[in-house]
Amino acid sequence: MAVLAATALPASRDDLEQLQLERLQATLHRVQRHVAFYRSMFADTGFDPDQCASLSDLQRLPLTNETDLCQAYPYDMFATPLKEVVQIHTTTGRHPEPVVHGYTERDLTNAAMLMARIMTGLGLDADDVFQITLNYGLGTGAFTFHEGARKLGASVIPTATGRTPKQVQIMRDFGTSCLVATPSYALRLLQTLKDQDVSPAALRLKCLLVTGEPFSADTRAVLEDGFQAQIYDLYGLSAAYGPVVAAQCRNQSVLHVQEDLFYAEVLDPQTHQPVPDGEWGELVLTTLVKEAVPLLRYRTGDKVRRVPDTCGCGSVFTALDRIAGRVDDVLTVKGVNIAPARIGQLLSTYLDFDIHWNATIAGSGPDQELILRLGIREDLFFDQMKRQRKLVDDLRRYLAQWLGVTPRVLLVEPDSLN
Amino acid sequence: MAVLAATALPASRDDLEQLQLERLQATLHRVQRHVAFYRSMFADTGFDPDQCASLSDLQRLPLTNETDLCQAYPYDMFATPLKEVVQIHTTTGRHPEPVVHGYTERDLTNAAMLMARIMTGLGLDADDVFQITLNYGLGTGAFTFHEGARKLGASVIPTATGRTPKQVQIMRDFGTSCLVATPSYALRLLQTLKDQDVSPAALRLKCLLVTGEPFSADTRAVLEDGFQAQIYDLYGLSAAYGPVVAAQCRNQSVLHVQEDLFYAEVLDPQTHQPVPDGEWGELVLTTLVKEAVPLLRYRTGDKVRRVPDTCGCGSVFTALDRIAGRVDDVLTVKGVNIAPARIGQLLSTYLDFDIHWNATIAGSGPDQELILRLGIREDLFFDQMKRQRKLVDDLRRYLAQWLGVTPRVLLVEPDSLN
């Protein structure tokens, strides 16, 4: 496969669909040859890549979900030899095994070019100074923004998350023109800006690129007003190049799905049938050029709907409304997806007794947190404060290790959980 | 300046010194033209780059120190327009202003090529799986290892620091062959390996690349024995491309200074005169190809000595003994350098009263920590436990923001500080 010129945009829907079909066929052949999971799927369903003559033929295949990826742990979904995989990320799913995301050098290049294309569309260029406040680590987001900005020839300050007062100093003194953040961390930065009496006029901020969490129109307004800068939403997932699957353009009206790299379906989460345009469903993605871990009909779990393209920017790509949340029970906190089933497994691994519990997200913006309520039975050291305290502290640390988010752990009367 | 072929090694001392001189002359001309600080220094000392005919002529210039870099905050030491700077890092110095480290695209390429050269010399290649447990953020270390490994075409798992049990799972399941860590974090990982009853035989680990802290022969032995893998030391600083200034080769005997990119002097920290080979002094570095922030005679503060090259690897580069610590009062904890003077400034900014204090490093390896003792006067809410607790908590958080390390804060009788 030649290096994808991700900056070249298809001129019409026809051009786009022809490109998608060619790339889909290449992907189908590649996974048939290299990925046992898909080879079996094709055999079981009598699906022959050579007879895939149109994009809709893909609907004959079942969906791929996170469980499939977990069961392939660590490397069974890889379509290239490990030697060609240059970067490996993982995310926590609903299973004990994490989901493994592999990238070849060409995958990284494509992700960076796609990010650079989105950034260029927003008017960003080599003169910009990017401050990236996402965590560089097992998730892909920070790296994708970083490499995209580098492709532009812009300056990158990789601050990662935390040390917020210092981040404000850097924003001001280093002339940050584009801030990259989750919406909740952007709100925290804004609060710190106010606490430190730094006026947005003292900054050179042009825009914020936000990602990782659904957010409301109210949050957008608060951020735009507070920072006196434009907010652009970038949507994506680690399984598919990070936050480059769909993005707002300068008009800020809709999310444009980057369909030359992803074939997108919006399906009823129960029946798996397409929903009409304008109706809510689950976003299901097929990667069209991904090398290390190509995905066919992958369930994102994210609730979306196609909307009429009122944007006028001239993009031929499908327009989505803002992400409305999840179609499953997965909780999203600070940009991290957490499946309650996984919390249950961790609790039963860690505790040597059964326990009633529930998990919720409380607060919004920077105060958002994962609250885990544990029902403590009367006969279970309910009067031993010190032991309780230790249980709570140890458990919080243990869960943070595996979930990537530190929950607040509360001990409650079991009855209060019903 | 052409892209440096950092993988080509000079064949003899003569070749090396000729290369150093040419690169030094180019650097001198560039800083004279673009950096006011060096232009004034040249004028004040009557130093004419055109008359620099040998490397020893450099000794006519005064030393550059961290204070000079802080006073240039944020961008006054830059020798290229900001537009050409693609990555910006900062480190905390002894002044309120951080030290700003800028990199052009070519600087990043050179740092990565140099790292790749060192890694190749250690027998690492495209088949290796690197697990990088350093923090990706305002320091440069993690990025330099990451890009070096990528240049090899190896696989990188950017785990960053923390979540140690998960790191052990990743080491085992993902077939990590090269672990990158600070010595103290490597010890923590080793302890977790033992706690989880994972035998080193269950790993595919070939070697550990360690950096960021001086460490003893005992620590080396514990790590090699525990991991059943070779330990290689890489020395460097953010001001000079990160951990690529000097590195051990496969023989593990000495640190080879990468002299085609750095001109190194070992000076008496008081007189600033060269010390004889074999005697301890301060390492002073001149960067030979750095574009964004070239440095002339920069005081590293690190205590080193030249030793006879008993290694036999054939390198023409100067050999150093292991880093012995600091020549100044700077404390190194978990790979971060902390100047007591900076702690004093932060305390006087934060507290509205004078206080006696001292700072020490306690423990070793993974238990190493910065201990800050504050002398609390009798008349100063000494009996108000709650208020004390809050002061300690708030102060710890505040210092962590600016130092990058969370200290343990202890309130003590003022007399006990003497």
Q: What average pLDDT does range A271-277 have in this prediction?
A: 97
Q: Give residues with Cβ within 8 angstroms of A200, minimum separation 6.
A: A193, A226, A227, A228, A229
- Judge: A159–B150 Cβ closer than 8 Å, yes or no: no
- Say what the pLDDT of residue B2 is: 38
CA distance A222 to B4: 48
Nearest residue on chain B to A150, alpha-carbon basis: B86
Give yes or no for a contact between A317 and A257, defined as CB atoms under 8 angstroms apart. yes
Q: Per-residue pLDDT for B91 more than 70?
A: yes
Torsion of CA B345, B348, B349, B353, to 10 degrees: 180
Is residue A242 exposed (0-12), middle (13-18) or buried (19+ Cβ within 10 Å)?
buried
CB-based burial, A104-121: b 16+ in 10 Å, e otherwise: bbbbbbbbbbbbbbbbeb
- pLDDT of B123: 96
Average pLDDT over residues B280-303: 97
A370-379 pLDDT, tens per residue? 999 988 776 6
Q: How confident is the model at residue B376 (pLDDT cuts 50, 70, 90)?
A: confident
Whole-number pLDDT of residue B347 = 87
The tokens of A235 are what?
A: 């949507």
Closest CA to A256 of A113, A117, A57: A117
Selected for mutation to probe chain A from B105, B134, B173 (highest A CB count within 10 Å) is: B173
What does residue A399 show for φ and ψ, rounded to 5 degrees?
-65, -40
DSSP structure class, residue A64 = B
Q: Does B172 touch chain A (CB under 8 A)?
A: no
Of A83, A85, A155, the CB nearest to B82: A155
* Residue bearing tokens 């300068």: A250
pLDDT at res. B213: 87
Whole-angstrom CA distances from A352 to A349, A408, A417 are: 8, 21, 20
B383 vs A267, residue with greater confidence: A267
- Paired tokens of B113: 């090529």
* CB-based contact B159 A138, cutoff 8 Å: yes
Q: What is the structure's pLDDT at B87?
A: 95
pLDDT tens digits, A109-145: 999 999 999 999 999 999 999 999 999 988 899 999 9
Q: State yes or no: pLDDT of B247 exceeds 80.
A: yes
Q: Does B83 touch chain A (CB under 8 A)?
A: yes
Q: Which residues on neighbouring strands pair with residue A256, listed in sequence order?
A: A247, A319
Digit-coded pLDDT (tens) for B336-345: 888 888 888 8
The distance in angstroms from the start CA to the end CA of chain B is 55
For A307, the token pair is 């909307």
Lowest mean pLDDT among A265-279, A303-317, B265-279: A303-317
Query: Span B313-319, mean pLDDT?
Result: 93
Residue A400: closest C-alpha in chain B: B163
* Interchain pair A138, B150: CB under 8 A: no
Residue with tokens 């001189």: B21
Backbone φ and ψ for A272, nearest 5 degrees, come out as 65, 20
Confidence grade of residue B418 (pLDDT, cut at 50, 70, 90): low
Distance CA B229, CA B231 (A): 7
Judge: B160–A166 Cβ closer than 8 Å, yes or no.
Answer: no
Identity of the residue in A86, A136, A404 whose CB atom sits nearest the CB atom of B155: A86
B251 and B311 Cβ atoms separated by less than 8 Å: yes
Using CA atoms, how far apart are residues A195 and A186, in angstroms rounded to an integer? 14
Per-residue confidence (pLDDT) for residue B383, from 0 to 100: 65
Banded model confidence at residue A304, pLDDT cuts 50, 70, 90: very high
| Residue B89 · residue B238 · CB < 8 Å | yes
Q: Indicate yes or no: CB of A156 within 8 angstroms of CB of B87.
A: yes
Give B397→chain A minimum CA distance, Å.
Answer: 9
Contact B399, B407 (CB under 8 A): yes
Q: Which amino acid is at B382?
A: F
Residue B158 contacts A, CB cutoff 8 Å: yes
Which residues from B are below 8 Å from A126, CB to CB? 83
What band does B1 get if pLDDT is binned at 50, 70 and 90?
very low
What DSSP assignment string belongs to A249-315? -TT-SSEEE-TTTEEEEEE-TTT-PBPPTTS-EEEEEEESS--SS--SSEEEEEEE-B------S--
> In the structure, what pLDDT confidence band is assigned to residue B36 with cuts at 50, 70 and 90?
very high
Quickly state the pLDDT bin for A163 (edges 50, 70, 90). confident
Specify the DSSP class assigned to residue B383. T
Residue B226 burial class via C-beta count within 10 angstroms: exposed 0-12, middle 13-18, buried 19 and up: middle
Positive or negative, the CA dihedral A192, A194, A195, A201 is positive
pLDDT of res. B379 = 62
What mean pLDDT is predicted for residues B303-317? 92
Give the ipTM.
Answer: 0.87
Most confident by average pLDDT, A141-150, B324-333, B372-381, B409-418: A141-150
Q: How far apart are CA A186 and CA A174, in angstroms?
A: 18
Contact state of A86 with B150 under an 8 Å Cβ cutoff = yes
Q: Do B404 and A163 touch (CB under 8 A)?
A: yes
Give the residue from A362, A370, A375 showing the smallest Cα distance to A412: A375
Tokens (6 digits) for B91: 């480190």
- What DSSP element (H or E) covers B375? strand B369-375
Q: If you measure CA to CA, which chain A residue comes closest to B132?
A: A137
Residue type, B73: Y
Decide: helix, strand or coil at residue A106.
helix
CB A100 within 8 A of CB A69: yes
Q: How far is it, in rounded angstroms, from Cα A347 to Cα B31?
A: 60
The answer to whether B242 and B262 have CB atoms below 8 angstroms apart is: no
* pLDDT of residue B94 exceeding 80: no
Cis amide linkage into residue B74, ω under 30° from 0: yes
User: Is residue B222 over pLDDT 80?
Assistant: yes
- Residue B5: the pLDDT is 46
Distance, in angstroms, between A323 CA and closest chain B CA? 28
Looking at chain A from residue 353 to 392, which residues have their Cβ under 8 Å from any Cβ of chain B? none
Q: Which of A89-103, B206-220, B400-414 has the highest mean pLDDT?
A: B206-220
Phi, psi of B161 (to 5 degrees): -85, 160
Residue A357: strand pairing partners? A374
Q: Tell me the average pLDDT of chain A.
A: 91
pLDDT for B64 equals 97
CB under 8 Å to A46, separation ≥6 — which residues?
none
Is A93 touching B (CB cutoff 8 A)?
no
Mean pLDDT, chain B, whole residue set? 91
Residue A193 is inside which H or E element, if any?
helix A183-195
Backbone angles phi, psi at B197, to 5 degrees: 60, 35
Q: Given 3-state DSSP classes, what are the helix, strand and coil percentages for chain A, each rounded to the nearest 5?
A: 35, 25, 40
* Closest residue of chain A to B151, computed from CA coordinates: A86
* B341 and B401 Cβ atoms separated by less than 8 Å: no
Torsions phi, psi for A68 (to 5 deg): -60, -40
* Cα separation, A39 vs A7, whole angstroms: 32
Task: Tell me the mean pLDDT in the region B160-187.
Answer: 93
State CA B78 to chain mean position distance: 20
State the pLDDT at residue A1: 37
Q: Which of B86, B174, B400 sits opposite A88 (nearest CB)?
A: B174
A167 touches chain B (CB under 8 A): no
User: Which residue is it, tokens 């232009």?
Assistant: B39
Least CA distance to A138: which residue of chain B?
Answer: B159
Structure confidence by residue, pLDDT tens digits, A318-359: 999 999 989 988 888 887 888 888 888 888 888 877 788 899
Amino acid at A374: L
CB atoms within 10 A of CB A60: 12
Tens-place pLDDT, residues B63-86: 999 999 999 999 999 999 999 999
* Domains in chain B: ranges and CATH: 1-327 (3.40.50.12780), 336-417 (3.30.300.30)
Task: Find the DSSP H helices in B123-262.
Answer: 141-152, 164-173, 183-195, 217-227
The predicted-structure confidence for A189-220, as pLDDT tens digits, reads as follows: 999 999 999 999 999 999 999 999 888 899 99
User: A92-101, A241-250, A332-341, B395-404 — which one is most confidently predicted on average?
Assistant: A241-250
